[in-house]
Structure 1
Amino acid sequence: MSTDRRELIGFAAVGLLAYAVDLTLFTSLRGPAALDPLTAKSLSFVAGCTVAYLGNARGTYRRAHATGVRPYAIFVAVNLAGALVQLLCLAVSHYGLGLTSQRADTVSGAIVGMALGTVLRFWGTRTLVFRA
């Protein structure tokens, strides 16, 4: 299997796990915990980001240098940019379009926003954090 293909599969697998953590926590915080959507998404992002970093550093890219402060700081910056994309989708839907149901918040923040943010994260993770 080519390195690019292995990398894409590893990134996707780690991303799915991080997404599951993010979505589960967001849904719990937005529903039973009754937090506002932006707070719930922010907290679920931190949990998902941590899972993604550990999985990519130790699994997908297997880079010994990826455990330092600098790569982690860059990873966080890349993921914050992705999170801003997610939050923007959620804010536009919830506050701009008035789609305020839990379902609408989940679709805009955890599906549409996550998909767009993932494109940015993959590029940034591959080129800025774990480059060969």
Structure 2
Amino acid sequence: MDFARRLYERFASLVHELAKFGSIGAIAFLIDTGAYNLFLLGVELGPLTSKVFATTISATFAYLGNRFWTFRHREQSGLGREYFLFFLLNGIALLFGLLVIGFTTYTLHLVDPLSANIANIIGVGLGTLFRFWSYKKWVFLEATEPIPVELPEAGVKQDR
């Protein structure tokens, strides 16, 4: 039992980050899939254009959720820097989706809605693996100082 407790203590922060990242990712996935289908089937844009628009919308949601919930305890190195890196890395992850969708549509000539959605899901899965690793490495950095759990109460003067 002591081994299990030590193992949990060692990986607790990673488990919590993964759970939060997964929650934000699940909602972003629903946004991405819904928007992809809206643009592809409703507006009748092409499959690649639909994917770019859907990813832009879902990535914006994911950035806000990950910055202010999943990785809020990590160093904040500037919203401009984080936002730029976040969307740069999402652009790289988007390439996974575009390659899978492009291959399915233009090489295999599978253009039905089921094939388009399966290709989208596979691309999102590959991109998600890349995003989790890259966000931790380059966007939401480890805190160099402990971040206080609570903010000082109002009306209490702080030393300057």
Please tell me the TM-score bracket, short chain as reference: over 0.9
Q: For 2:44, what is the secondary structure of its paired residue? A: coil
Runs of 4+ aligned residues of structure 1 deviating over 4 Å after TM superposition are none
2:14 paired residue number: 4
- 5+ long unaligned stretches in structure 1: none
Larger radius of gyration: 2
RMSD: 1.3
Deviation, structure 1 residue 64: 6.1
Alpha-carbon offset, residue 34 of structure 1: 1.1
For 1:1-132, what aligned pairs fall within 5 Å after superposition? 2-62=12-72, 63=74, 65=76, 68-109=79-120, 111-132=121-142
Structure 1 Cα separation of the partners of residues 18 and 77 of structure 2: 18
Partner of 1:108, secondary structure, is helix
Give the structure with the higher percent helix. Answer: 1
Identity rate of aligned residues, in percent? 31
- Relative to the length of structure 2, the TM-score reads 0.78
Amino acid at match of 1:39: T
Task: Please say if residues 76 and 141 of structure 2, whose CA atoms lie closer than 8 Å, have aligned partners that are also in contact.
Answer: no
Following superposition, the deviation at residue 103 of structure 1 comes to 1.4
Contact 2:39 2:50 in 1 (8 A): yes
What displacement does 1:131 show? 1.9
Aligned length: 131
